[in-house]
Amino acid sequence: MIDVLSVLLSRLTAARAAFLDAAISSRLGSIKSIQTGAVSMTNTTSATATITSVNTAKAIFSLLGQSANWQGAGFLTAIHARVILTNATTVTATKTGAANPGNTLTVRFMIIEFN
């Protein structure tokens, strides 16, 4: 299986990152940091990821996608998650469905912090 996030991030070369920085900085200021991560939930309905501290007033949070390793009933109601930047160092994901044993939902995110 192809991990789309890995493909996209591998294509973010230094030149492309510099272009994005220039395009965005004209509106929001220069990019201070870009962080990506994932939160996996197995046998639970909520989980967190710790990130390097960001100024939440100067950061954009984006959900990049989610994947599920799911067996049995309840697939359609359990593959969705609410993901938020809880505070300067924590991302929290909460599954909309039940915590079924052995099933995993993983969400991927990106945070861009500006100067």
For 17-60, write each residue's pLDDT tens digit: 677 666 666 666 778 899 999 999 888 888 999 999 999 988 88
Per-residue pLDDT reduced to its tens digit, 90-99: 999 988 766 6
Kindly write down the DSSP assignment for every residue of 50-93, as one continuous string.
E-----GGGEEEEEEEEEEE--STTHHHHS-EEEEEEETTEEEE
Ordered by start, the domain boundaries in the chain are: 31-114
Q: Using a cut of 0.75, tell me whether the model's pTM lies above it.
A: no
Pairing verdict, β 59-69 and 104-114:
antiparallel
Q: Does 8 score more than 70 pLDDT? A: no
Quickly tell me which residue has 């959900």 as its tokens: 63
Question: CA 35 → CA 54, 61, 62, 98, 113, distances in Å?
Answer: 10, 10, 10, 29, 8
State the pLDDT at residue 38: 93
Fold that domain 31-114 belongs to in CATH: Immunoglobulin-like (2.60.40)
Compute CA distances 68 → 86, 106, 110, whole Å: 23, 6, 19
